[in-house]
Amino acid sequence: MSHDRCLYSNMVALSPVLVLTYLSYFHSAVLSFPLDQQSHDTSSCGYKSCHATVPNMLNVHLVPHTHDDVGWLKTVDQYFYGGRNDIQHAGVQYILDSVVGQLLQNPERRFIYVETAFFYRWWKNQPPSMQKAVRQLVDQGRLEFVNGGWCMSDEATTHYSAVIDQMTLGLRFLNDTFGPCGRPRVAWHIDPFGHAREHASMFAQMGYDGFFFGRLDYQDRTNRIRTLEQELLWRASESLEPPYADLFTGILPNGYNPPKGFCWDQSCDDAPIMDDPDLEDYNVDDVVQRFAAAANSQAMAYKTKHIIMTMGSDFQYENANLWYKNLDKLIRYVNARQANGSQINVLYSTPSCYLQELHRSNLTWTLKTDDFFPYADDAHNFWTGYFTSRPALKRYERVSNGRLQTCNQLEVLGGPSSRKGPFGAGDSETLREAMAVAQHHDAVSGTEKQHVANDYARRLANGWQHCQVVVSNSLAALSGSSAGRIYCDNLNVSACPLTEASKKFSVNVYNSLARPVVWPVRLPVNASAYTVLDATGTPVDCQVVPMSKATQQVRKDRGYAVNELVFQAQAPPLGYSTYSVSVLQNGPPSASVKSGPPAAIQNKFVRATFDPATGLLDSLTNLETQQTIKLTQNFYWYNASDGKSSISDQASGAYIFRPNSSSPFIISCTAETESIQTPELQEVRQQFGPWVSQVIRLHSNSKALEMEWTVGPVPIADGLGKEVITRLDSSIASSGVFYTDSNGREVLRRKKDFRPTWDLRQTEPVAGNYYPINSRAYIKDDKDQLTVVTDRSQGGSSIHDGSLEVMLHRRLLHDDWRGVGEPLNEMSGVFPLGLVVRGRLLLSLTPPALAADAHRPLAQENVLQPLLSFTEGGPPPGSLLEFSGLQAALPPAVHLLTLSQWGQDSLLIRLEHQFQTKESKEHSVPFTVNLQKLFSTLKVVGVSELNLSANQWIDEMKRLDWRPKMAAKPLRKPLGDPSMWEVILTPMQIRTFILRVAPRR
Ligand SMILES: [Zn+2]
């Protein structure tokens, strides 16, 4: 491109033709590749670099690969360097060193690499000569990146927003480093333990041509082998117009391992190819024969004349010579038999080369519209425990995602001084990388060793330290006050040294949503009366309540407050509001606590009644819609199988949930209760025994009933592992059907003891009906829908009609033999007797037609909770006490999913329609957003649209098209945008843009 950079700022006023030209300039300027890549063409990488195949023969695609977990038995650092080989022999740096050397020796050889978290570290340490050699390998398609995210994310316990971020991080590095030849064509999730529909939808929107994985239910696989349906077309969205979320999906034949007898890694014991006929151990004939048998047998289970063999496994290729030397020979000797009539052709290949051949076969493929959960590898081995494993880490990961979004936004809104300002130098990258690492399928999933879980948490905490500086600098720039800011990370157990000690302080409430929120603020304090003023100096209603015993117990010596101050804070869209709090002398005493259950708690929207005999919840009423259901709730535990009864007996562990009995044990039939009832706040405090308590709460403005649970230390003195659930039993006629979300987005229908695509033989009546809940689950009948919004990923089910259960905590005494080698028995310095976990569920009762209107915004508020920061004393005079980064709130259906700095004067933004088609009368319709009217402090002067992962221009994203078996309905034409600045969002659509911005005067 020859355009001068300075022309750019005139873009807005240009004629349409010129705008196109300038936009393409904008393209090259934003997705920037190294200089020597500028003239690069892609004629020798990607599909063009594939080896030729032989028509009419069985073509066996050998895919050399390594599966490198971004932390599992060792930390990500230990895996990279090869430290702690006493735990597991694995060193990724040596793998990449070795593979590159082997690729350079023979241009026929191929290798794929997956986890950018590792590749990026290795690349940084290479001298320019090595980088040049590797670039050439990539340009020639000899080294191919597949998947390409920072890690291979877990699919059951991740939130879509964090998955999109981690993919963007990895793919951006590949794009910046290698240009178009570094862009992966194939998504590759060979190890995750079940597969989410939302992941498939995201991969489709990221431009992948196909997707391969290794694990699915054993009954499902048997069935698909029989019907030749291990390759299929996944229609991954009910809302997005096909083929927008269609993804070709292939199930690998052997997990991700080589066929039996053909593993030539240093970690394997299979015989090498011994090809000197003069030596006694000569085995070429034997190897060729066994290989032909393996290939022919595999071919029986697939449709085309092409099959794929994954030649590698966990951390293999550290000494790549072993693999390649034998693979070279295998190819030579097997293909030599073609002269004698053999019909097998073996070649070095990659997943994309294999995919290309499937595409060329021009077949039609069965269409799948549900997902691949739950995953069982045998009759009593359901991998449904990890939906809940490590509940505190799961919550911390979710909180950290909210902090990262806040940090990203404030970095943009505060301008350059956010990174370097009055509080020093900060960055968002540290937390971005820590979050990306935490998405790995042994991280947030909870299936890592304890010391690795600690490492993930430490990384998130460290990332937040870096972000705090950005946030403080930015708030100083926006407010005009650089008074010191305190962040209280232990507010969930009501500990915050500043509010406990101070007589006068101010609270900044930053809201990262693009619409205003009202949020209950709850602070530990020691006086009994306070005045709270909003940003205009107007007093707001507040209440002081005595701190519960349960909170004092979990808080321990981290705080010393005796009371909690509660008020409703309002914060503007993408902005903050500041509240001033001061002790009121001679004020009214704090609210009184009455013992025993109240008949009911209620505000103007909701009423919950209690059984006076048991102290348990009894009914729930929506006062606006005048509907009431019978509703009880209690805590139970399943007795985890200990796996001792026989050698093949399966124990519950980090991965697997296997209760000994389908009936859980009740913890207590009654709860000791006390209550507080004031106009601002109504709560019932329930104690179910020494290790389970709950607060059922209604704030004056809330439309959802809050249930804050505290569970732990789970007792194990009886020698029994326990899996603790909360269960809601209602009068709703749910008829065996319930609903769970997929990665926090679209909702899937679940039916007890049923799978949509095969006749299930149910062998685990509880564990076999568990599904991941990432943000919500519900049951309904014609009249009533009860929706539960969660604060982290958890497992759950509906085992009885009208019932909905969520697993909260697991403490287990045995390993479940899936590799982690430790029982899931969490203890820590703070909780030496066992981990105590606290969280909350939000309950919403509505008619089904109005349910999404309530749960969509509720779940989003819960994921992106406001960030509170505190300053000692009153707000400095002259400082700006309220700020919004938006000119106006976005419509309720539109979520600002991403706002982060991309280049010096460019931003990455994602706008999301957060409603599904048909789920809301009011909101499931297209909305238009004017990009130029978005920001209050930034002028948008250029716009370009990208794919979901921001590594390709949307108009250049051309995916392979696949034909479903069923007759396709005629495609609807997508709605055209009214102008380049006004973009339309249809239900569940996410649109990704780079905006060029300038400060608004
Ligand atoms: Zn793995």
Q: What totals of helices (H) and strands (E) does the chain contain, helices first? A: 17, 48
Sign for the pseudo-dihedral over CA of 527, 531, 534, 536 = negative
Listing DSSP states for 814-855 in one string gives S--SSS--S------SS-TT---EEEEEEEEEE-GGGHHHHH
Q: Does the pLDDT value for residue 220 go beyond 50?
A: yes
Q: Convert the pLDDT of each residue in 316-351 to its tens digit.
A: 999 999 999 999 999 999 999 999 999 999 999 999
Place of tokens 């370097």: 420
Mean pLDDT of the chain: 94
Q: Convert the pLDDT of each residue in 366-425 to its tens digit.
A: 999 999 999 999 999 999 999 999 999 999 999 999 999 999 999 999 999 999 999 999
- Cα 298 from Cα 259, distance rounded (Å): 9
CA of 885 to the centre of ligand 1 (A): 41
pLDDT of the residue at 2: 32
CA of 107 to the centre of ligand 1 (A): 29
The model's confidence at residue 971, banded by pLDDT at 50, 70 and 90, is low
CA of 447 to the centre of ligand 1 (A): 10
CA of 192 to the centre of ligand 1 (A): 7
CA of 392 to the centre of ligand 1 (A): 22
CA of 402 to the centre of ligand 1 (A): 26
Summarize the confidence of residues 60-64 as an average pLDDT.
98
Q: Convert the pLDDT of each residue in 519-568 to its tens digit.
A: 999 999 999 999 999 999 999 999 999 999 999 999 999 999 999 999 99
The model's confidence at residue 34, banded by pLDDT at 50, 70 and 90, is very low
829: left (phi over 0), alpha (psi -120 to 50) or beta: alpha
What number of other Cβ atoms are within 10 A of residue 28's Cβ? 12
pLDDT of the residue at 1: 32
Q: Does the pLDDT value for residue 135 go beyond 90?
A: yes
The model's confidence at residue 587, banded by pLDDT at 50, 70 and 90, is confident
- Cα 302 from Cα 285, distance rounded (Å): 26
Summarize the confidence of residues 865-890 as an average pLDDT.
96
Catalytic residue among 68, 139, 191, 220: 191
3-state secondary structure of 302: coil
The model's confidence at residue 36, banded by pLDDT at 50, 70 and 90, is very low
Summarize the confidence of residues 966-987 as an average pLDDT.
83
Active site residue 191: yes
Under 8 Å CB-to-CB from 609, ≥6 apart: which residues?
599, 600, 617, 618, 619, 621
HEC profile for 510-563?
A: EECCCCCEEEEEEEEECCCCEEEECCCCCECCEEEEECCHHHHHHHHHHCCCCE
Residue 642: phi and psi, rounded to 5, are: -100, 0
pLDDT of the residue at 7: 29
Q: What percent of the chain has pLDDT over 90?
A: 92
CA of 68 to the centre of ligand 1 (A): 7
Summarize the confidence of residues 215-236 as an average pLDDT.
98
CA of 216 to the centre of ligand 1 (A): 15
The model's confidence at residue 645, banded by pLDDT at 50, 70 and 90, is low
Listing DSSP states for 705-765 in one string gives EEEEEEE-PPP-TTS--EEEEEEEEES---TTEEEEESTTSSEEEEETT-BTTB------T
- Helices marked H in 182-319 — which ranges? 197-205, 218-227, 284-299
Tokens matching residue 391: 């509940």
Closest CA to 213 of 237, 198, 196: 196
Residue 100: phi and psi, rounded to 5, are: -60, -45
CA of 72 to the centre of ligand 1 (A): 8
pLDDT of the residue at 966: 79
Q: Convert the pLDDT of each residue in 243-273 to its tens digit.
A: 999 999 999 999 999 999 999 999 999 999 9
pLDDT of the residue at 25: 38
Summarize the confidence of residues 194-201 as an average pLDDT.
98
CA of 257 to the centre of ligand 1 (A): 12
pLDDT of the residue at 108: 98
- Bridge-based pairing state of the strands 990-999 and 938-946: antiparallel
The one-letter code for the residue type at 809 is H
pLDDT of the residue at 646: 63
Q: Convert the pLDDT of each residue in 752-800 to its tens digit.
A: 999 999 999 999 999 999 999 999 999 999 999 999 999 999 999 999 9
Q: Are 212 and 195 in contact (CB under 8 A)?
A: no
Burial of 960 (0-12, 13-18, 19+ CB in 10 A): middle
CA of 600 to the centre of ligand 1 (A): 50
Closest CA to 731 of 806, 635, 636, 628: 628
The model's confidence at residue 969, banded by pLDDT at 50, 70 and 90, is low
Q: ∠ CA(890), CA(892), CA(895), 5° rounding?
A: 65
CA of 701 to the centre of ligand 1 (A): 45
